[in-house]
Structure 1
Amino acid sequence: MKWSIPEKVIEEGRECAKEGRVVSWSKNLERRVWYAEVIGSDMLYVELDGTAKEDDVCQCMYWEQHGYCKHTVAVELAMREQGVSRFIPRTELKETDVPKVISPAVVFTKGFERLQEAELRKLIRQTDDLFLTYGIDIVPTSEYHDEQSVLGLHLRIGRRDTPNKTYVVKNMDEFLEAYKQDRELRISTINWKVGATAFNSEDNALIRSMLAMKEQQTLVVNSRLQAKSVIDRRYLILNRQVASQLFDEFKHDKSFMIKGLGSQVKRAVIHQGKIPLTVTLSPVGLSDYELTIIDPFIVFLEEYQWLVGTDGFYELTEEQASSYQVLNQMLKRLDKPTIYYTKDQVSSLFSYVLPQLALLCDFELPESLDDEVLRYPLDIKLYFHKEEDSLVVRVDFCYGDYVFSNDPKYSTSIGEEGAVLRDKVQEERLLTLLRHYGYGTYAQKYSKTFPNDLERFYFFTREIPTFEKYTTVHLSDDIKVLYLTADEHQPKARIIENGSWFDIQFDISSVDETEVNDVLSSLMQNKEYHQLRNGQVLMLDDEAYKETNQMLRLLREDIRLDGNRLEVPTYRSLVLSEAMTQLSDVETSDYFETMVDELTHPEKVEVSLPTKLNATLRDYQLTGFKWFKTLSKYHFGGILADDMGLGKTIQTIAYLLSEKEDGELTKPSVIVAPASLLYNWKLELEKFAPSLKSKLIIGGKEERNAQIASLDDVDVAIISYSTLRQDSTEFRKIDCHSVILDEAQMVKNSATKTFQSISGLKSDRVFALSGTPIENRLEELWSLFKLLMPGFFPPKRRFKQLETTEIATMIKPFVLRRVKKEVLQDLPDKVETDRYSQLTEEQKTVYVAYLKQIQESMSQLNEKDFNKQRMSILAGITRLRQICCHPGLFIDDYQGGSGKLDQALDLIEQAKSNGRRVLLFSQFTGMLSILEDELAKRDVGTFYLRGSTPVKERQELVERFNRGEKDVFLISLKAGGTGLNLTGADTVILYDLWWNPAVEEQATGRAHRIGQTKKVEVWRLLAEGTIEERMNQLQLEKKALFQKVLHSEDAPELSSMTMDDIKHILAIGDED
């Protein structure tokens, strides 16, 4: 068990194990964990980690807080007692192993048997010896301020056989902790076993409630006060919520009583609404009054906002609490609860005092008041108007027909009718609000400088709505006209084509067209308004403007402002179309709609195949042809990313031939391919489109210059990447119709000369052919599109910040990807199997020595040092991979054999005896040479394709193998992993793993492609217990990038080889 577990917890676990509370345990070999059941206060399920990490899990609250507990310790100790080790070593399930089948009925019944056993154990231990009594006290926290008192829960404990003897629980925290741990607690010189079995169900329910509330921190323990011994530790201080819950439980218990401050509360009831104050207003003489207030309450508890009375508690609102606190303080200052008001003070009584008392309680007024005072509800009216550069407001306080205005000419004369009872509180509140908004009093006027820009916006959106809550607001016409509501001035959009751009024009009623873009600029800055040049404030908070803002945000990377126009490049037509769905009112052209429809559904485009094509296209290939034609029509580029073997070549040839027959191929097109595929392209063009004039650009410099000079009479020029790099100056002078980049993943690095050479080609259309346009990083896609459509993606730094879902949406029309299992129902299956081999003893000795050496050097590196030593570390990893293949690759006179070599030779012999023909790939040419020698000793004929094999000879070897000559084709992974058609093989052996799974996919695609009639077996050879297993995990991560970005709408982030990746591969810091 972990050394960090405290000794106290280990002792508790040992006690738990001794008591037999570990009911059962079982092993899960696949997950390398133990499952166990332990009896606590309930049945608990424990999971014990069978690896060196010891990451155990338990259901109990203690484990949730600490990450360890007595139950996990108890399980391990109980297992040790039976001689069972917690460690579960790695095991390999052999084919001969037959797992024992357990009946579902037995498993199902066993679970309930264990549950009954656990309940029986609990019943046997259940004594119900003890009982609790409880109470709640009002506990003072200050000698001088009773209102700061709190409510405290306290307990007494006793035995059922002596019910008249109970003892005070003097420390609540200690009691709850002892109960939780089911141990003894000393109370009043007596040791009490206070676990769950000692109490009945009612007491247990109360204690568990207290524990749960305490654990979840819904009980408020004022540690500051208790630390200073202000509050006795026998109390558990209750907050308002918990006290309310307890009161609800005890409201029908007549024996329940709350004590404190020399009084008793006889009912656990919380009242709401008005409180039982006694308020009496009596006339004295002709015009004076006497106010009497009787307050029956014990105390007001500030923490709870409760008034405490003998009949329960009264919950006050915030407003009531404020009024009561003032009332309480005022009454404390009086000798008796009676206040005398003279005739002159009556108005203040009605304006300030009685409205506050009315919030607290109900009371009646004497009838004689109606004859002396005119009482009407207050109606406040505000009149705003503009005077030069000032905003002026007239304030009218209206009581019935009587008006009291700051402008005397609008005030009403009262005469002999009596005194109007004015609501001074509300009047002063309004005047305070005016001062808050900056209005001053000048010559009997409330005014301020007429607001502009942001202040004007706030005037209409904050100031006026605030005044309207309390008053009736009137605005003059010259102010009303300054406020333009969004619902009356909706934006309308129109899309117009303009060459390689779409113009987006907006129209907003009442807004000059020269100001529309200023409005949109404010919108894109998330402003809530825009002030026009004439001073009008246009609100931008309407749904229509939110839609427009959302549309502009979707296009934020692509919008260009040209004068008063917004422009978006045509290659963003689908993004623009999607963005326009955000708008309710938009007008588009037929051209725009047609483009969007054709880019979205290229398979529906009406276009005929070229008449001189000597091939029949499958349905998906016809779609690919139409996709080419559609993009070409709009002068776009794209990536044909079909799975290996689906016929990217024939789709491309069909497109080029169609362009010629349509009269579009007035300039030569250029196919750039790896040197090994040049002749293949030439042969395919001559076979399927003989009417296309094609020329290979090969030979010496002078010969190539002559070939380039004669391209005017050529339809298609075929050139290698390396030759183009050498002849880039000559090719920059040529106008091309289309550029086709075959195996385009080869130009993923934008810093290379090859990349720069391709960038210099003059062409409106650039297409990439690649089954794996992304091999390691998303930046590879950025590089390709920089060649296909410069400016399509934002700068690289910004590109790296894009979500993968956003990238997938952007590239959707321009990347066509189909996989074999979707479109070739008649293509035989490809079955991939990982085959593991054991290192020989000598091989293992060499491997471990090198591994330790690298691990030691890696463990000392920080991130900075790692970056400096990166290449040497990767070189060390390559050594480990070579050892997995055969240590003789770099150790002279090594005679210890290789487990993987023996396995590969056995597999090849088995394949040969079953009539199968094999492609074997390795990145180590030295390994291929060893295999060639060993197979020769066994009379197995081989072809060997290495990087130095001449181009013409490669094609000859492929054709001979496909005709049935020899049984095994040994191929360098990087030299022959692409472009070859080797359907004569039905078995592929990947002798060693490559970092990039896309390279392996390319290799297997040499055999699993159109023309294959047999099921293809792919065997990946891995040395067990080595870095090859870790590399396999890394490959799975890299596969996610390719699959998710090109197929899914939810793509994860992918990373390249980090320091953590390499540590994981080398098993540094991994204990299991």
Structure 2
Amino acid sequence: MKWTIPERIIQRGRKYADEGRVTAITQDLTQEVWHAEVIGSAIYQVELDGTPREKDICTCLYWQENGYCKHTVAVELALRDKGLNRVLKQNKDLKTTYKAPSLSKIVTDSFAKLQDKETKQALEEATPLKVDFLVESLEISNYHPEKAVFGLSFKVGYQDGRTYAVKNASEFLQAFAKQEKFRHSDKYLFSLAAINFTETDYQLLKAALEIYQNNQMVASSGVQLKGSLKQRFLLLPIKELKPFLMNLIRQDKLQVTIGEKTTRKLFFASGKLPIVFEVEPQHTGFNLKISNGIEHYWETYQWVSRGVTIYELTTAQQEIYQTLTQLLKRVETPIIYYEAEEVADLFSYVLPALEQIGLLKVDESLQTEMIRVPVKTGLYLSADKGKLNMRVDFKYGEEVFSTDDAYSTQTEKTSLVIRDQVQESRIEKLLSRYHYTKRAVGYSKPLPQKAELYQLFSTEIPYLRKFAELEVSGELSSLYLDAVQFQPQIEVYEEGSWLDIRFDVSNIDESDIDAILLSLLNQESFYQLSNGQILSLDSDAFQQTSEALSKLRGQLLYQDGKFLIPKYRGLQVEEALEDVTNTTFSDDFKKMVEKLTKPEELDYPIPVNLEAELRHYQKVGFRWLKMLSEYQFGGILADDMGLGKTVQGITYLLSEKEKNIERPSLIVAPASLIYNWQIECQKFAPSLTTCVVTGSKTERERLLQEEGQCDLLITSYASIRQDIDLYQELDIHCLILDEAQMVKNSATKTFQAIKDLKTTHRFAFSGTPIENDLEELWSLFYMLMPGFFPSRAKFKNLETEEIAKMIQPFVLRREKKEVLKDLPDKIESNLYSSLTEEQKTVYLAHLRQMQETISSMSADSFKKNRISVLAGLTRLRQICCDPALFIEDYKGDSGKLEQVKELVIAAKENGRRVLLFSQFTSMLSIIEREFNQLGIDSFYLRGSTKPKDRIEMVEAFNSGEKDVFLISLKAGGTGLNLTGADTVILYDLWWNPAVEEQAAGRAHRMGQKKVVEVWRLIAEGTIEEKMNKLQQEKRELFDKVMNAEEEQQLAKLTEADIREILSMGID
């Protein structure tokens, strides 16, 4: 074999030799050549040089172009397989002639191969593919980019995986045209059968194939126009040819020359061709006579013609016609003789194919003798001694051909039965696919176990039944329990602080129920019972159960044959199981779900000793707390500021006292609010004895030792952190955390101290349970109902909508605009001021310094210096307020200070009363001094103001004393009722909008009679403008979770935020 032949050609030749495609080899000792025939897409004649010169010849087009081909290689390898040398003289005593098979055998084999291809395609299981179509502009000249053309390439892969670039588009499209397999690489072999493509991809590939066929028309037909023909003629492409000819016919412009005939008429037809196939008796056998009326054949266009009629071939017809024409080249007259014993092959393989392209005539005497009836295939599956046995019966009327002779029928007509070799071959290949081995009396394989036994019944048997009638022995059938006959049953009960999910399966031993339940939880498709039987779990009922359990996975506790889940998962349990067949919910469970989802319909009685007239929404809030308490749930009362969360809490505590509970409850609040709670209790529930735990360490210890004399203990977050050892010894009935956002950080000592308290009921009150990010919500629920949310890491991966859905029953939030229809509006305005020249000089100097510092920082360096960066931002904010806040000798003015003086003077003249908030107490001192000089008297609430003094100041202001109340934002942003004011001025912005909302809520709350205006002062062109933008993004986060609105983007003060803030300068 020549060393210049490429390896890929040798490999293809090896494949042909192994497949037995070399059907005849003879030697000519005189001419010193080997003659052979090779079956490919046609039958090719090969002449193999029998001398060392190796001048081989083949009739294929590839050899004509290259001087070698896979067919010559296949013949030489076939000789080697027989122990022969291609050089004739090197073979000792060469006498044997390898005679070619008879013509009838060649014809039968040729059409049998077509049927075998059809069988393989019929058995092909769908393996869905996806195709990417990539169009790219290709430059064909480095010097002339304007001559670029567009090219199309492909990527192919499985539907659920990635796609891979097709390296040879020609081979890919040829394989698609024949619906064959396409080898992308050693790893991937894709079947390009039509069933594997979506309709869209299939049509696009057909269009691409037409383009390819147009491009390849000349080369694929082996024709090349040269000289004057090339200059004179325009080749007509495949897709456009018929429409063009039809257009010529319609315009009476057609003049077509085919061979030596020219015509002005042309007709198109489809279906059977003008070919007649006759089968007649001849001697002891039969003749197959072929009358071929075809005059011309155009392989490229898939057309044949007779006279003025062109017949369009289907792909299947073209394959049959090509095979036929190749065979007819072997004979002088179109008559093929079949011996009597070959007649079954003639009728089974040859005639069914020929009948697709032409008219079939069979001698009447032969028709009466032949038995041609559809085959009925019977498969009989049984188990014996650890093996599966399969008997196969092919039934043709009364004649039965069985793999077990005991079941075959033998009559004088048996030899005349025309057997359906396609179906019989199909069954044989099917059984081979499922690893059955042919035995003397049928097929067998080892009896499968566990998963393989499940696959036998769930996949293998149903698939075989598509092609045959299949019976399974009773003994084997008993190994498989169909899921439809064994229905799961689920019952949900309330049991203490848990929900009890009980599970049963009809007609299944109780000892197997636990394991079946765990199999469903693991989403398995079957379970093998203790007696060896396979229980299918693939029915709708079992799959619904499996999906429901998977939704609850992680919260379920398995114990004593049942699942337990915390009662606060009730709504999740109902949602997961409500559509599951045969699920029963206990009356207690349904009642609990009703209460959780419809708090407005609760009917707990208002305490008789309450000395307050509750609004409707406050009654709902009280009853909601009572309902959560009944089921030992925690919750967050998240009403808007000023809606009376305190009175709702007091009503609940008073109601609990009326149950004669002897243990005290505990209120933890900011220090500024502890006396407010006591005063409100004395006002609305005087029968509720209170004790404010404050003072020195010794005093606090004494008060806690006397806790048995109080219904309600009230303390501050700072005090409880210091006295946690004392509180941990107490048995507390109910814990209420007021302004619960104070303990949003789970890493603080205060959080840890409160978390470990022994208490039956826990509630949080906060108008802003989320101030910065969702982890604050995780912290609150971790304190109220440990385990309610997954771990912090998993919580971060939850969708915001899912979080909102989970917390919905345990968070009650009402806004003023919803429940206080008579509450006057709140009008918010941003008022801008300009920096003075002196102020601007200072601001720009600090800004540039920060910009230079941060621009040189890497991300790691930024993290390490974050505190100093934030301190720099604080400096810039202070400059916006008044540079005198940190520059001792600053002599200039402040634009914002001048603005606020003008605003307050105007407000006072118009009879308005003002709350003025600032984060910086030193700024408030400057404002107080400026107001004194203007004769404006004001209250000033500092962080150091004692709680009792604070209450007195609030009462005096609400009574009409003084017109301005200066308040430190953090000291007085919560817990104050200052409805005597109708104007709120936020002198400087705070990063967290919730703090500002709280501040505005001091005036805009229940009891307010006037429209409240909120003025937010912003220094134009400074970082305050960026801060205002960040605040809006945080407001959207709060609305999304607490009000379950559409998703917005969560924003925290990130490195990117800070860099953007500092990018702003002043023009």
**Which range, TM-score by smaller chain?**
0.7 to 0.9
Match of 2:735 among 734, 739, 744: 739
2:213, 2:238 within 8 Å by CA — same for their partners in 1?
no
- Return the alpha-carbon distance in structure 1 between the equivalents of residues 1046 and 262 of structure 2: 65
- Return the alpha-carbon distance in structure 2 between the equivalents of residues 904 and 267 of structure 1: 99
- Return the alpha-carbon distance in structure 1 between the equivalents of residues 446 and 561 of structure 2: 34
- Look up the match of 1:292: 290
- Look up the match of 1:613: 610
SS of the aligned residue for 1:541 comes to coil
- Look up the match of 2:943: 947
- Look up the match of 2:534: 537
State the AA in 2 paired with 1:503. Answer: D
Cα shift readout 1:585-626 (whole Å, capped 9, x = no counterpart): 222222112211122222322221111111110000000110
Matching of residue 1016 in structure 1 with residue 1012 in structure 2: yes
SS of the aligned residue for 1:982 comes to coil
SS of the aligned residue for 1:794 comes to coil
State the AA in 2 paired with 1:850. Answer: H
Deviates most, 682-691 or 423-432: 423-432
1:641, 1:772 within 8 Å by CA — same for their partners in 2?
yes
* Cα distance change on mapping 1:256 and 1:1036 into 2, 3 Å: farther
Aligned pairs (5 A) from 1:676-715: 676-715=672-711
Aligned pairs (5 A) from 1:612-1011: 612-663=609-660, 665-1011=661-1007
Match of 2:545 among 542, 545, 548: 548
State the 1:307 CA deviation. 4.6
Let me know the Cα RMSD of the aligned residues: 3.8
Match of 1:1065 among 1036, 1043, 1061: 1061
* Cα distance change on mapping 1:810 and 1:250 into 2, 3 Å: farther
* Cα distance change on mapping 1:622 and 1:372 into 2, 3 Å: same
State the 1:451 CA deviation. 1.5
SS of the aligned residue for 1:738 comes to strand
- Return the alpha-carbon distance in structure 2 between the equivalents of residues 835 and 1041 of structure 1: 25
- Look up the match of 1:24: none
SS of the aligned residue for 1:768 comes to strand
- Look up the match of 1:390: 387
- Return the alpha-carbon distance in structure 1 between the equivalents of residues 1066 and 387 of structure 2: 78
Aligned pairs (5 A) from 1:305-316: 306-307=302-303, 314=312, 316=314
State the AA in 1 paired with 2:438. Answer: T
SS of the aligned residue for 1:392 comes to strand
SS of the aligned residue for 2:390 comes to strand
* Cα distance change on mapping 1:702 and 1:544 into 2, 3 Å: same
1:220, 1:239 within 8 Å by CA — same for their partners in 2?
no
1:288, 1:341 within 8 Å by CA — same for their partners in 2?
yes
* Cα distance change on mapping 1:417 and 1:720 into 2, 3 Å: closer
- Return the alpha-carbon distance in structure 2 between the equivalents of residues 265 and 545 of structure 1: 72
- Return the alpha-carbon distance in structure 2 between the equivalents of residues 966 and 237 of structure 1: 102
2:490, 2:502 within 8 Å by CA — same for their partners in 1?
yes
State the 1:289 CA deviation. 1.5
* Cα distance change on mapping 1:225 and 1:734 into 2, 3 Å: same
State the 1:802 CA deviation. 1.5
State the 1:368 CA deviation. 3.3
Matching of residue 480 in structure 1 with residue 477 in structure 2: yes
- Return the alpha-carbon distance in structure 2 between the equivalents of residues 831 and 873 of structure 1: 35
* Cα distance change on mapping 1:361 and 1:620 into 2, 3 Å: farther
- Look up the match of 1:99: none
* Cα distance change on mapping 1:851 and 1:242 into 2, 3 Å: farther
- Return the alpha-carbon distance in structure 2 between the equivalents of residues 262 and 795 of structure 1: 87
SS of the aligned residue for 2:633 comes to coil
Cα shift readout 1:942-995 (whole Å, capped 9, x = no counterpart): 222222222222222212211112222121111111111111110111122211
State the 1:293 CA deviation. 6.7
- Look up the match of 1:1048: 1044
SS of the aligned residue for 1:422 comes to coil
Cα shift readout 1:538-582 (whole Å, capped 9, x = no counterpart): 333322223222322332232111131111111111222222212
**Normalising by structure 2, what TM-score?**
0.75
* Cα distance change on mapping 1:560 and 1:260 into 2, 3 Å: farther
Match of 2:597 among 588, 595, 600: 600
- Return the alpha-carbon distance in structure 1 between the equivalents of residues 777 and 988 of structure 2: 27
State the 1:884 CA deviation. 2.4
* Cα distance change on mapping 1:647 and 1:386 into 2, 3 Å: same
- Look up the match of 1:527: 524
Match of 2:570 among 553, 573, 582: 573
SS of the aligned residue for 2:494 comes to strand
Cα shift readout 1:412-460 (whole Å, capped 9, x = no counterpart): 1122675211122221221121111111123323111111222122212
- Return the alpha-carbon distance in structure 1 between the equivalents of residues 722 and 254 of structure 2: 99
State the 1:1071 CA deviation. 15
2:489, 2:503 within 8 Å by CA — same for their partners in 1?
yes
State the 1:934 CA deviation. 2.2
- Return the alpha-carbon distance in structure 2 between the equivalents of residues 811 and 591 of structure 1: 22
State the 1:262 CA deviation. 12
- Return the alpha-carbon distance in structure 1 between the equivalents of residues 320 and 465 of structure 2: 26
- Return the alpha-carbon distance in structure 2 between the equivalents of residues 876 and 479 of structure 1: 81
- Return the alpha-carbon distance in structure 2 between the equivalents of residues 924 and 937 of structure 1: 20
- Return the alpha-carbon distance in structure 1 between the equivalents of residues 491 and 910 of structure 2: 69
- Return the alpha-carbon distance in structure 1 between the equivalents of residues 246 and 770 of structure 2: 65
- Return the alpha-carbon distance in structure 2 between the equivalents of residues 872 and 384 of structure 1: 81
- Return the alpha-carbon distance in structure 2 between the equivalents of residues 801 and 418 of structure 1: 73
Match of 1:429 among 416, 426, 429: 426
- Return the alpha-carbon distance in structure 1 between the equivalents of residues 825 and 262 of structure 2: 86
1:372, 1:418 within 8 Å by CA — same for their partners in 2?
no
Identical aligned pairs, as a percentage? 48
- Return the alpha-carbon distance in structure 1 between the equivalents of residues 976 and 234 of structure 2: 81
- Return the alpha-carbon distance in structure 2 between the equivalents of residues 596 and 329 of structure 1: 79
* Cα distance change on mapping 1:282 and 1:315 into 2, 3 Å: closer
- Return the alpha-carbon distance in structure 2 between the equivalents of residues 264 and 518 of structure 1: 83
State the 1:743 CA deviation. 0.4
- Return the alpha-carbon distance in structure 1 between the equivalents of residues 624 and 367 of structure 2: 91
* Matched residue count: 864
* Cα distance change on mapping 1:455 and 1:250 into 2, 3 Å: farther
Which structure: larger Rg? 2
- Return the alpha-carbon distance in structure 1 between the equivalents of residues 549 and 832 of structure 2: 55
- Return the alpha-carbon distance in structure 1 between the equivalents of residues 997 and 777 of structure 2: 18
Match of 2:443 among 427, 435, 446: 446
- Look up the match of 2:81: none
State the AA in 2 paired with 1:477. Answer: G
State the 1:1047 CA deviation. 1.5
* Cα distance change on mapping 1:311 and 1:1016 into 2, 3 Å: farther
2:404, 2:440 within 8 Å by CA — same for their partners in 1?
no
- Return the alpha-carbon distance in structure 1 between the equivalents of residues 444 and 1004 of structure 2: 86
- Return the alpha-carbon distance in structure 1 between the equivalents of residues 998 and 554 of structure 2: 35
- Return the alpha-carbon distance in structure 2 between the equivalents of residues 1071 and 843 of structure 1: 12
SS of the aligned residue for 1:298 comes to strand
1:374, 1:418 within 8 Å by CA — same for their partners in 2?
no
* Cα distance change on mapping 1:858 and 1:289 into 2, 3 Å: farther
Match of 1:505 among 478, 496, 502: 502
2:828, 2:1014 within 8 Å by CA — same for their partners in 1?
yes
State the 1:248 CA deviation. 9.4
* Cα distance change on mapping 1:285 and 1:445 into 2, 3 Å: closer
- Return the alpha-carbon distance in structure 1 between the equivalents of residues 647 and 700 of structure 2: 27
SS of the aligned residue for 2:929 comes to helix
Where does structure 2 lack aligned partners over 5 or more consecutive residues?
1-60, 67-143, 151-202
1:267, 1:312 within 8 Å by CA — same for their partners in 2?
no
* Cα distance change on mapping 1:716 and 1:332 into 2, 3 Å: farther
Matching of residue 366 in structure 1 with residue 363 in structure 2: yes
